[in-house]
Chain A
Amino acid sequence: MTVAPKREDYDVVVIGAGPAGLAAAATSAEAGLSTLLLDENIGPGGQVFRAIASTPVTERNQLGEDYWVGADLVESLRASNAEVIHRATVWSLDRNLDIAVSIGGASAFVKAKRVILATGALERPFPIPGWTLPGVMTAGAAQTMLKSSALVPDGRTVIAGQGPLLWLLAAQILRLGGRIDRILDTTERGNYFAALPHAFAFLTSPYFAKGLSMMREVKAKVQVVSGVTELAASGDGQLASVSYVAGGKRETIAADLLLLHQGVVPNVNLAMSAGVEHRWDELQLCWSPVLDASGNSSVTGIAIAGDGAGIGGANAAVVRGRIAARAAVEALAPPAAAKLKPMATLRAELAKAERGRVFLDTLFRPAPQFRIPSGDTIVCRCEEVTAKDVLDSVAIGATGPNQLKAYRRTGMGPCQGRLCGLTVTELMAQARGKTPQEIGYYRLRAPVKPITLAELAAVPKSEADIKAVVRG
C-alpha cells in the first residue's frame, strides 16, 4: 500500500525513525505541531531497534533488554498525532527545507518549517585486502539479518575488528545458536593507556557493567585473539581464508564468513547535501555536523539529532531527539513548550547518557593501518579504485576528494561515497601532509538515494505547468 504524505506543509518533518527520530516526532506531535516522520525501513526502530515491532525473536534476553526499550518509544509515538510513513526514502533536502521523498515508487514533495534529521550512523569502512570478496560483510549487515529474520551464521565464521557493537553482535549470534570460530580484536594496545584517564566516567556509565558481562559471555565460548595488527581476506572469487598478525606472529585460518566492524560514524549524506557545515572530529575520526546545544545546524531550520549529530549511542540519541524537538516547539509554538520536559532537565539527561563516551571513543579509535590502506587494496568499491590509484592521482595534481573525481570517479558510484569517503579523505590527507579538515570531503548531491528516471518523470507537474495547460 502506498501512502503519500497527507499535506504539502508541516511544522516539523523528522527524517529517520531510530531512537532520535522516534523521540523527536513524538515530542513534536505531543506539543501539537503538525509532524511528519519519514523512515526508510518497513517499520520503526532504525538500526539499534531494527524490527522492534516485527522481530521473530521473542525471547527477550537474546537481543538484550536495551533492545526492547525501543518498544516504549514506538508506543509513545503511536499515542501521538504524528503522521508516520515507512518505506519512505528522502532523496533530497535543501536549505529552503523542501523535501523530496520516494514512497512505494512514487515521489512527493513536502515543505517543513523545521527539519530534524535523525539519519543515524553507518559502519566505518574497513578497507583491508580482500574486503570486497563475497563472504566478507559488515557486522552491521549480519545484525540486520539477525534482528529482522533471526538468521545467524552456520559456516566457519570469523569476526574481526573492535568496538561495543562487535561484542554485542557476537553475544547475540551465540545466544541464537550461531557459529563463531574466532574473534580477531584489532584494538590497539596503546589505546588502553590512552583511554585510562577517561575510565572513571566510563565506570559510572550504564555501559560499563553491561559491556563487561557481554565480553565475558563471548570469551567463555569463542577463542579471542587480541592485539591484531594486520588483517587480510583471501580467496578466489569467494572468501576462503583470513590471515592476521598478532604479537608479531602471522596465522591463516580457513573461513566461509568474515564479519568486519570498527565502529560507526555519522551518516552525513543528507545533511551535507543540504549544505550543513561539518567538521572533522579528530577523536571519532569522522565528519560531524557543527551544531548548537539544541542540535541546530548551520542551515536555518535544520536540526540534527542522534548519531548523525556525532556518535553518542542510543540513550543519548533519544535525549537529543527530545532536545531538538523541544527547540522546534519553542520556536514555532512557545506556549506549548511549557508542557514538555524543561530544557535544563533534558540537557542533564544528555550529559548522563554521554558519560563514558570519551573513554569508548579513545579505546576503540581504529588503528591507522585499518583506516588508511595501501597498494592494491580497493578504496572505492563502486569504481574499483585502489589506494595506489588514489596516490598516483595525488602525485599528478589531485588535491582533494572532489578533484579526485575527475581523475578516478571515486565517490561517483551508487554509494555516493558512503563506503570510500572517509578512506579517501584520510588517505589524501596523509599523502599530502595535510589534516583531513584541510583536505575536505566529497560535495554530496541529491538524489541522496537513487530514484528511477520513470519516477522522476512521473512527479506531479508544477503549478505553472498545470496553468499553462489549462490556458493553452
Chain B
Amino acid sequence: MTQNVDAIVVGGGIHGCSTTLHLCLAGLKPVLIEKDYAGRHASGVNAGGVRQLARHIPEIPLSIRSMGIWEKIKDLLDDDCSFESYGQVLVAENEEELAVCRARVAELNALGFTHEELIDGAELRRLVPAVADTCPGGVVSRRDGAANPAQTTTAFRRKAQQLGATVREGVAATNIRYSDGLWYVDVGTETFAAPVLVNAAGAWAGKIAAALGEPVPVETVAPMLMITSRVPHFIDPVVILRGRKLSFKQFSNGTVLIGGGHLATPYQDRNETVLDWKSLAVSARTVFELFPIMRDATIMRAWAGIEAKMKDDIPVFGPSSRHKGLYHQFGFSLHGFQLGPGAGAVMAELIVNGGTQTRIGDLGIDRFHPTTL
C-alpha cells in the first residue's frame, strides 16, 4: 500500500534530518529514509567544527544563516548539542601565509563579509597560548565553535520525529520514480509517495542524481580523524592551519581531536573505511611540532566517515534542473556539518515558498547542467 506524505527525504545525515525538521516546522508531513541510522556516516563522525572561517565564497551566505541557528540550537532542538563557541582560528605559520590571510580578509570585506578578522602574533598567542612562537598571526572567526556531531544529528532526527515526521531507519530507499506529479520510493515492503523528493543521501546521493539523469562530478571520500587521551586544558578555540592539513580541537573533557582532511580508503558498499596510518603520522608530526604540550598524549582512536566530495568543492544545493519536485542537498565536500541547520531551513523555504532570501544561486546543480525544466 502506498502512503502519501508531503515530502520524501532520502538520507539521515544532518542535512536530511535538518530539512525534515524544518519541513515539519512549516507544517508539512515528511518521511525521512535512512539506510543505516541517523548520523551513521559523515554527519555523526566528523570533527564537529561549527565553522564560518575559510569557506568558499559561494557558501558563505548559507554558512552565516546557519550560524544564527547554531547560536539558538537548544531552543530549536531541546538539546544543546554540546555546542560551544570559542571561535575558530586559522594559523599562519610564516609571513607568506599571513600575506595570503591578509588578502583573503580584504577580499571578504570588499564583498561585505566581516566574520573573518586578521590577527597579529600577539592576538594569536592570546587566543592560542600553546601555539609555536614562530607563527606570525592568522585569521579568527569569533562566533565559530564546535558541537558533538552524533549528538546533534540525533537531536535533529528526534525533534523531527516529535513534530510528526515519519522516520524509517535501517532500510534503504529504492526504486525512486516519478509518475503523475508524484515521487514514489520503496522502503522495504512500504511505498511512499509525495510531490517533493529531497536527495540528501551524502556519499550515496551522486548515484541517485545520476539515476535521475543529473550526473555530477562527485567522488566518495573518507577524511580521517583521531582523538587523544585527556590532557590538561590548554586551548579553547578550534585551530586550523593555512599551509598544512590540520585541524585541532580540545573538548571540555580534555580529549583532543586531530583532523585536517587526510583521507582513508572508503569501501562504500560495506560501510567501511581502511585508515592510512602513514598519513595520520603526518598529522601527528604537525601537532608534535606546533604543540609541544601534546607530545606525551596518547592516540585513543582513529576513524573516517564516508562522504561526498564535489570536484569544485562546493555542495549541490537547490532544485533539480530537470525534474519538478526534486531537490538536491549533497556534496558538502568535508565541510557540511556547520551548514546543516541553515541548509535545512533554506531547503524548507525553497520547497514551501518556492524561494529564499539566502543567497544560494552558485550552489545549484545547474552549474553542471543547463536548466531544461
Contact = CB atoms under 8 A, between A and B. Distances in A.
A383 B48 CA distance: 21
Q: Determine which residue in B154, B294, B296, B303 has the highest number of CB atoms from chain A within 10 A of its CB, and name it.
A: B154
B274 A454 contact: no
A301 to B, nearest CB: 14
Nearest to B274: A94
Interface string B278-315: 11111011011000001111111111000000000000
A447 interface: yes
Contact of A397 (B40, B154, B298, B299): B154
A406 B280 CA distance: 24
A447 B40 CA distance: 20
A275 B151 CA distance: 25
Chain A, interface SS category:
loop
A96 B277 CA distance: 13
A399 interface: yes
A1 interface: no
Given A457-B281, A457-B288, A459-B281, A452 B298 contact: yes
Interface in A419-472: 445-447, 450-454, 456-457, 459, 461-462, 465
Nearest to B286: A457
B300 A450 contact: yes
Given A399-B37, A445-B303, A450-B229, A456 B284 contact: yes
Contacts of A459: 277-278, 281
A60 B278 CA distance: 48
A92 B294 CA distance: 22
Interface in A68-99: 92, 94-96
Given A96-B274, A461-B278, 15 more contacts: A92-B277, A95-B274, A275-B272, A399-B169, A400-B37, A406-B151, A445-B302, A446-B275, A447-B300, A451-B299, A453-B299, A456-B281, A457-B288, A457-B295, A462-B279
A412 interface: yes
Contacts of B154: 397, 403, 406-407
Contacts of A462: 278-279
A109 interface: yes
A456 B300 contact: no
A452 B299 contact: yes
Contacts of A416: 300-301
A406 B277 contact: no
A447 B287 contact: no
Interface residues of A, number: 34
B150 interface: yes
A399 B161 CA distance: 15
B156 to A, nearest CB: 12
A400 B150 CA distance: 13
Contacts of A109: 277-278
B148 interface: yes
A353 B111 CA distance: 77
A416 B40 CA distance: 19
Contact of B158 (A397, A447, A452, A465): A397
B132 to A, nearest CB: 15
B260 interface: no
A446 B281 CA distance: 13
Contacts of B297: 452-453
Nearest to A444: B301
A167 to B, nearest CB: 37
B301 A447 contact: yes
Q: Determine which residue in A402, A416, A450, A453 has the highest number of CB atoms from chain B within 10 A of its CB, and name it.
A: A453
B275 A407 contact: no
Contacts of B298: 414, 450-453
Interface string A263-283: 000000000000100000000
A414 B299 CA distance: 10
Interface of A: 92, 94-96, 100, 109, 275, 396-397, 399-400, 402-403, 405-407, 412-414, 416, 445-447, 450-454, 456-457, 459, 461-462, 465
Nearest to B301: A445
A386 B275 CA distance: 33
25 contacts: A92-B275, A95-B274, A109-B277, A396-B158, A399-B169, A403-B37, A406-B151, A406-B154, A407-B151, A412-B301, A416-B300, A445-B303, A446-B277, A450-B229, A450-B300, A452-B296, A453-B228, A453-B288, A454-B288, A457-B285, A457-B287, A459-B277, A459-B281, A461-B281, A462-B278
Interface in B175-228: 228
A414 B229 contact: yes
B39 interface: yes
B77 to A, nearest CB: 12
A248 B287 CA distance: 60
Contacts of B39: 403, 406
A367 B157 CA distance: 37
Contacts of A446: 275, 277, 301-302
Nearest to A456: B284
A81 B157 CA distance: 58
Nearest to B297: A453
A395 to B, nearest CB: 12
A193 B55 CA distance: 68
B302 A454 contact: no
Contacts of B275: 92, 94, 446
Contacts of B302: 445-447
B44 interface: yes
Nearest to B79: A396
A406 B295 contact: no
Contacts of B296: 452-454
Interface string B151-176: 10010011000000000010000000
A100 to B, nearest CB: 6
A94 B228 CA distance: 21
B257 to A, nearest CB: 12
A456 B282 CA distance: 9
